[in-house]
Amino acid sequence: MTLRIKRQIANTVSYVLLAILSIYCAFPFVWMVISSLKPRNEIRVRTPSFMIENPTLDNFVRVLFGHNFTTYVRNSLIVSVSACALSLAISILAGYAFSRYYRKRAVKYSNLGMLISQMIPGVLLLVPLYIIMRNLQVLDSYLSLILAYTTFVIPLCTFMLSSAFDSIPMSLEEAAQLDGCGKLETIWRVVLPVMVPAIVSVGLYAFINAWNEFMFGYIFISQDEYRTITPAIMLFKGANSVDWGGLMAASVVAVLPVALIFLFLQRYFIAGLMSGAVKG
Amino acid sequence: MSTATRPPALEAAEATEATEKRDQRLIRSGRRFPYLALAPAWVFLVLLIGYPLLKVLWDAFQHANLINTDLAGFAGLENFSDVIADRHFAGAVRNTIIWTVASVAGEFVIGLGSALLLNRRVRGQGFFRVLTFIPWLVPIIVAGMTWEWMLNPDFGIVNSMLTSSGIIESPINFLGDATWAMATVVFVNIWRSFPYYTISFLAALQAIPQELYEAAQIDGASAFRQFRSVTFPQLRSPALIIVFIHIIWTAVNFDFIWVMTQGGPNYATITLPILIYRYSMQDFNVGMASALSTMMLIATSLIFVLYYKYRRTLSEEVVG
Amino acid sequence: MKKYKAVIATIALIPLTLTACSGASGGEESSGKSGAPIELWTAWTEGATTQEASQEMIAQFEADSGQTVNQTNFTYDMLREKLVASAAGGNLPDAVWGLPEYVGEFNKLGILANLSDSWDSWADKDKVSEAVKAAMTVDGKIIGFPYETTTRAYLVHDDVLAAGGKSVPTTWEDVLAIGSSVKDATGSSAFGVAGAGVRAPQELLVYLAQQGLKIADEKDGGFRNTWQDDPAELAKATAVFQFYADLMDSGAVNPNSPTYGWEETDENFVTGLTATYVTGNWLAERETSNAETMGDVSVHPIPYPADGQPATYIEAKPLMVMEGTDVLDGATQLAQAFASEKWQTAAFAERSALNTVSTDSKWSKDFQALLESGVTYPPITLGTITQSMIDSIAMVLQEGTSPEEAAIWLSDQINDSLETSGDLA
């Protein structure tokens, strides 16, 4: 077979697989969007269907304007972006140390310490963290959430970044140091630009972790003005009834901004940015 | 001070001294650097995780009941034996292992596969990437409630579609039938977790220089051979990390199963973290909850030892 | 190296010092002046009448009394976890919407203020039934004002039942006699039970009460389950579990019932999938959203065994005031205001404990008529006990255990829990 036909087959197979993958991933979300556009009497019915008889934007209007969701989105953005930036800063430094100084005892203990920190179930962190935040007097403020979320993601971010550092040859750094750059400068100017996809992926992870977290969101925050979006979504499940329309609409509102951010950022997962720097 | 010519030997000596001083400074700052680099991370972890960790280890050996303070006192290993004697302990251990292994395996396969697919230059690449990313974006409670609704035997779209197309005769109670519950929960967990593998693998795939592929092609290697000798070795390092960290997270994860089944039906999907939640929030028995948590900590530490051995090998290859 | 060890050691000491001052600083923000705001935690459904009316009433309260009320909304589950964490951290709110299931354990945590004096001087206290007052009492002290009170009644889809050729059952035997005839005729199950979630123990409580049984009797300042002390009681407890088993065997209930929570059972009734069901009057609003299936609903007392007595579950929710609050008077006033006739009529017209507050609809009158025979949980720590109740139902319905074994097992579990929580007589 010629190369051309081989490529076409490969492409077709790819498209089919991608289509299956997309359906698998998007199906529940499609169901969420459709449900959010249904009026009350069509949502939870005996025979569910994808068709909407009387589509309505009522649920969205209610969620955005009746329920203060614009405040919640704002709060989530503030907390998530801050947690993301803070954890990136800390993890880049720690990840570098893990990669380049792996022989040192300090690194080994840090490795162990970070892994152990992941092993504590959230439920047992509830009361101790609450007490700590209380004593730091940051309850009912963005800071309590930012501090907690940063701490939760530092280990994984560090490990992932250290693995990314692993794939950068030392020759790059040595060259910069010969030119008189200090360590920090080397990292900032020479190494990081070459690691952009890894940084984007780790940053995204930290962001989304903070965005989706809900338990500490409602434990630390007791004032509506600081509430974040995911704990707020839980309110649609009432004591005796579930407001499915509102729940679905609120979830769509929670997912869309992040999806858009990703649509913008996924460009950074392209080889073109990289191939120049690593050569020779 | 007169600027009489200075003997060249003295100048040379001073110059060497200056270089040595600079080198020493560089070396010293190099020596200090790892500690400074690790310091911020340590501050956060010690401050916020240190106390809870110590508390858990301490409480494991105490009688600690939030409701009944009369019971306080040293408990030795009693909490541990109480936990093991719990009639749900064995089932929870078994379920935790199945839940962890099946989830991570599924996530790895789908994550790697999707990363390879999304790495190819096809039309609409960005669009497909966003779609693949969506499961991870949906908040856990929403994902749980939506899947629960879709899988409901009476109102769910999945059963509705399966029965109307004739694939099955009567609706399957996915989350309410003990034979299906665990598999269903694992399936939904894979759905929501695999995108992280995809992203990480995608990032790692981008780091593979194009020349390596070209060289392999010139040597006449097939696509599969290329994958094995060029792609996979480069993915070892991130793969190792993701898999090990996810093993720990999945084992410790509580909220996902709780949202969907609360450990039911009739304990069919109960895992160790759910047991911990029950001990601490339902029974208010912090002692037993801490003991079980300590046991999990020891088990996962052993996994860490394995991870560290592999990690060292990889690092040695790069840094030397 | 030594320098760094010192640094690390210092960092390690910080969390210890931070946590050392945990209990000491409770409520240090204000000094008990009337200017301090009252922190109120609610759990209403957003966008419903209760919320709107309550917010108006609260605004009025602020104007009349000169105090500020800081109200935030949560779900009951969130509330419970937050209260446990706040109790440990010494940072409790001032007034909280509670559930009857929380009374025992919160009392044990020592966070409930004693409102007995305020109750005695309450203008509307005579309009509240003894059963509701008992639900707010623990250890002889009153710990809350009833802000929302509902009973359970037997709801029937008249058309579906008629299509199956049956009349409304009044006894357990009647229900079992229907068997699968309604299902065969219409495709809908005759009756409904919840086997999981918070609804299951509430239903079990009613069926036990209809046999004259309690899950724990009060004696000598403590509580104890007495089923195994008296063969007659054990036989009745067995009869209750036998009823569950018979419901499944006779085909009167959906085979998936063992795993249904309130979400499923309520939904099944609303959509007509179940012909009759014991539930509360919050389904009134579904008459508009599910008009085709909810048009034929009638309200009846819950069927009870022929040799038993009528009973229903009273969910009397207490508005609790937290112990150690610095605005005790204000918070108590607020709690009492919620239970007052004016607020109840405005925000809880169909769900009030006051016998002067009701509407003309069947959802209000017919439910309130059942208050007399209402039972509620004893004021004990319930977490493990309700779980054991759910497990005992599962043993009978899913594991095939004999009803008598299940009754004995549950009795043992209840007494074990009472012992652990220090409530055992």
Residues in chain B: 320
Which residue among C72, C75, C289 sits closest to A234, beta carbon to beta carbon?
A: C75
Give SS3 for B151. helix
Other C-beta atoms within 10 Å of B59: how many? 22
Cβ neighbours of B240 in A, within 8 Å: 163
What is the enclosing helix (H) or strand (E) of C278?
Answer: strand C276-279
Q: What is the pLDDT of residues B202-257, one digit of tens each?
A: 888 877 777 777 787 788 777 777 777 778 877 887 788 888 888 988 998 988 89
Q: For every one of its 320 residues, what pLDDT tens digit does chain B have, with 9 covering 90 and above?
A: 445 566 777 777 777 776 676 666 555 556 778 888 889 999 999 989 998 999 999 999 999 888 777 778 888 899 999 999 999 999 999 999 999 999 999 999 999 999 988 887 777 788 888 888 889 888 888 898 899 999 998 888 999 999 888 888 888 899 988 899 999 999 999 999 999 899 888 888 877 777 777 787 788 777 777 777 778 877 887 788 888 888 988 998 988 899 889 888 889 999 999 999 999 988 899 999 999 999 999 988 887 777 777 777 776 776 65
Triad A99, A104, A107: Cα angle to 5°: 60
Q: In the numeric block, which tokens belong to residue C385?
A: 């006990």
| Interface size, chain A vs chain C, as Cβ–Cβ contacts under 8 Å | 96
CB count within 10 Å of CB B25 equals 11
- Cβ contact, residue pair A41, C280, below 8 Å: no
DSSP B64-118: -BSS-GGG-EE-TTHHHHHHHHSTTHHHHHHHHHHHHHHHHHHHHHHHHHHHHHH
Task: pLDDT band for A273, please (50, 70, 90 cuts).
Answer: very low
Question: Which of B43, B71, B265 lies at the smallest CB-CB distance from C259?
Answer: B265
* CA–CA distance, C351 with C368 (Å, rounded to integer): 9
pLDDT of residue C25: 39
Residues in chain A with CB shorter than 8 Å from the CB of B312 are: 102
pLDDT of residue C16: 52
Q: How far apart are CA A238 and CA A249, in angstroms?
A: 16
- List beta partners, residue B139: none
User: How close, in Å, is residue C270 to chain A by CA atoms?
Assistant: 9
**C316: which strand partners?**
C149
Average pLDDT over residues C323-344: 92
C-alpha to C-alpha distances, B218 to A19, A280, C422, nearest whole angstrom: 32, 20, 79
Residues of C in contact with A132 (CB under 8 A): 15, 18-19
Of A126, A218, A246, the CB nearest to C78: A218
pLDDT, tens digit, 9 for 90 and up, residues C117-147: 999 999 988 999 888 999 999 988 999 999 9
C326 CB neighbour count, 10 Å cutoff: 17
Contact list in C for residue B66 (CB cut-off 8 A) is: 84, 88, 109
Chain B positions touching A150 (Cβ under 8 A) are: 44
For B89, list phi and psi in degrees, rounded to 5.
-65, -50
Write down the pLDDT at residue B30: 64
Helix extents (H) in C125-230: 130-135, 158-163, 172-178, 181-186, 199-210
φ/ψ of B121, rounded to 5, equals -85, 95
pLDDT interval class at C10 (50, 70, 90): low
pLDDT of residue C76 exceeding 80: yes
Q: How far apart are CA A206 and CA B233, in angstroms?
A: 27
Asked if the bond preceding B153 is cis, omega within 30° of 0, the reply is no
Residue A271 is predicted with a pLDDT of: 46
| DSSP bridge pairs for C97 | C319
Q: How far apart are CA B271 and CA C66, in angstroms?
A: 52
Binary contact (B209, A132; C-beta < 8 A): no
Question: What share of chain A in percent tops pLDDT 70?
Answer: 95
d(C-alpha A207, C-alpha A199), whole Å: 12
Rounded mean pLDDT, C249-275 = 92
Q: Report how far Cα C8 is from the mean position of its chain's Cα atoms.
A: 50
Nearest by CB to residue C19, choosing from A131, A235, A242, is: A131
More confident residue, C303 or C21: C303
d(CA B149, CA B158): 9
Average pLDDT on A86-110 reads: 88
User: Which comes out higher in pLDDT, residue B232 or C197?
Assistant: C197
Region of A207 please: left (phi>0), alpha (psi -120 to 50) or beta.
alpha
- Considering only CB atoms, which chain A residues are within 8 Å of C85? 126-127, 130, 219
Arithmetic mean of pLDDT, A209-228: 91
C-alpha to C-alpha distance for C243 and C177, rounded to whole angstroms: 12
For testing contact with chain A, the best of B107, B141, B194 (most A CBs within 10 A): B141
Residue C16 exposure: Cα atoms within 13 Å on the Cβ side: 6
Structure token pair of residue C273: 């999938």
Instruction: Return d(Cα B7, Cα B20) in angstroms, integer.
Output: 20
Q: For residue A139, which of A235, A229, A216 has the smallest C-alpha distance?
A: A216
Q: Which two three-digit tokens encode residue C343?
A: 């607020």
Taking CA C134 as the corner, what is the angle to CA C132 and CA C139, rounded to the nearest 5 degrees?
150
| Position C5 confidence tier, pLDDT thresholds 50, 70, 90 | low
CB-CB under 8 Å, C76 with A239: yes
Measured in degrees and rounded to the nearest 5, phi and psi for residue C375 equal -125, 160
User: Measured at the alpha carbon of residue A148, what is the angle toward residues A142 and A154, in degrees to the nearest 5?
Assistant: 125
Distance (Å) from the C-alpha of residue A62 to the closest C-alpha of chain B? 18
Helix axes B51-59, A122-136, angle to 10 degrees: 130
- Mean pLDDT on A27-44: 89
- Closest chain A residue to C269, measured at CA: A46
Residue C209 in 3-state DSSP? Answer: helix
pLDDT score, position B27: 57
Q: Choosing among A64, A134, A147, which should be mutated to test the C contact, i.e. which has the most C CBs within 10 A?
A: A134
Binary contact (B202, A158; C-beta < 8 A)? no
Model pLDDT, residue A279? 37
Structure tokens at A62: 């209610």
CB–CB contact A238 C75 (8 Å): yes
Is residue C273 less than 8 Å (CB to CB) from chain A?
yes
Please state, for a pLDDT cut of 90, what percent of chain C lies above it: 68
Q: Do C381 and B152 touch (CB under 8 A)?
A: no
C-alpha angle B294-B299-B303 in degrees, rounded to nearest 5: 140
Q: Quote the CA–CA distance of C268 and B57 in Å, as a whole number.
A: 47
Task: Specify the pLDDT at position B25.
Answer: 59
State whether B178 and C398 contact (CB < 8 Å): yes
Which residues on adjacent β-strands are paired with residue C424? C223
**Backbone dihedral region of C251: left (phi > 0), alpha (psi from -120 to 50 degrees) or beta?**
left
Closest Cα partner for A174 from A273, A100, A104, A97? Answer: A100
Which of the 8 DSSP states describes residue C149? E
Tell me which of B23, B36, B48, B249 to substitute to probe the interface with A (most A C-beta atoms closer than 10 Å): B48
Contact C90 A127 (CB under 8 A): no
User: How many Å lie between the alpha carbon of C91 and the closest alpha carbon of chain A?
Assistant: 8
Is there a contact between B36 and B49 (Cβ–Cβ < 8 Å)? Answer: no
Q: Inter-chain contact C84–B155, Cβ cutoff 8 Å?
A: no
pLDDT of residue B318: 65
Locate tokens 């079990």: which residue? C204
Q: Round to whole Å and give the CA distance between B281 and A122.
A: 12
Q: Taking CB atoms and an 8 Å cutoff, what residues of chain A touch C288? A: 40-41
List chains adjacent to chain A, taking adjacency as at least 3 C-beta pairs closer than 8 Å.
Answer: B, C
* Angstrom distance (rounded) from CA C190 to CA C247: 10
Chain C residues touching residue B67 (CB < 8 angstroms):
105, 108-109, 381, 421-422
Report for A187-201, A231-245, C78-92, C203-217: range of highest mean pLDDT: C203-217
Whether C13 contacts chain A with CB within 8 A: no
Per-residue pLDDT at C28: 40
From chain C, the residues in CB contact with A235 under 8 A are 46, 73-75
| Residue of A11, A32, A166, A209 to mutate, testing the B interface (most B Cβ within 10 Å of its Cβ) | A166
Highest-pLDDT range among A181-185, B2-6, C12-16, C173-177: C173-177
Judged by CB atoms closer than 8 Å, whether chains meet at C46 and A243 is answered as yes
Cβ distance of B45 and A29 shorter than 8 Å: no
Give the per-residue pLDDT at B24. Answer: 62
Lowest model confidence (mean pLDDT) among A46-50, A57-61, B190-194, C400-404:
A46-50
**Does the complex come out with an ipTM higher than 0.90?**
no
Q: Chains with ≥3 Cβ pairs under 8 A against B?
A: A, C
For C85, the closest of A130, A135, A235 (CB atoms) is A130
Q: Is the pLDDT of residue A116 over 90?
A: no
Contact C95, A140 (CB under 8 A): no
Average per-residue pLDDT for chain A: 85
**What are the chain A neighbours of C315 within 8 Å (beta carbons)?**
none
Q: What is the pLDDT of residue C383?
A: 86
C-beta separation of C142 from C114 below 8 A: yes
Continuous segment of H or E residues that includes residue C138:
strand C137-138
Burial (CB < 10 A; 0-12, 13-18, 19+), residue C378, is: buried
A147-176: pLDDT as tens digits: 999 999 999 899 888 888 887 888 888 888
With bands split at pLDDT 50, 70 and 90, how would you rate the model's confidence at C392? very high
pLDDT of A280 > 70? The answer is no
pLDDT of A275 strictly over 60? no
Distance of CA C77 to the CA centre of its chain: 12
- Lowest-confidence range among B222-226, C190-194, C199-203? B222-226
Nearest-CA residue of chain C relative to B35?
A: C4
Task: Give the amino acid at C344.
Answer: Q
Backbone CA torsion sign across C27, C28, C30, C31: positive
How large is the average pLDDT for residues A226-249?
Answer: 89
Average pLDDT over residues C331-342: 93
**Interface test mutation site (partner C, options B56, B154, B175, max chain C beta carbons within 10 A):** B154
Give the pLDDT confidence score for residue C14 in this predicted structure. 57
Among B206, B207, B238, the residue with its CB nearest the CB of A160 is B238
Handedness of CA B264, B267, B271, B275 (dihedral sign): positive
Q: How many CB pairs under 8 A join B and C?
A: 87
C18, C25, C75 member nearest A132 (Cβ) = C18
Q: Average pLDDT of chain C?
A: 89
In this prediction, residue C13 carries a pLDDT of 57
Percent of chain A with pLDDT over 90: 36
What average pLDDT does range C8-32 have in this prediction? Answer: 46
Alpha-carbon distance B175 to nearest alpha carbon in chain C (angstroms) = 9
- Best mutation target among B236, B315, B316, B317 (most A Cβ atoms within 10 Å) is B315
- Mean pLDDT value across residues A12-41: 90
Q: In one letter, which amino acid is C42?
A: T
Bridge partners for C212 per DSSP: none
Determine whether the interchain pair C421/B42 forms a contact, defined as Cβ–Cβ distance below 8 Å.
no
Q: For residue C423, which phi and psi values (nearest 5 degrees)?
A: -100, -5
Contact indicator for A117, B53 with CB cutoff of 8 Å: yes
Answer whether A198's CB lies under 8 Å from B203's CB: yes
Do the chains contact at A156 and B304, CB–CB below 8 Å?
no
- Identify which of B50, B70, B176 has the shortest CB distance to residue C422: B70
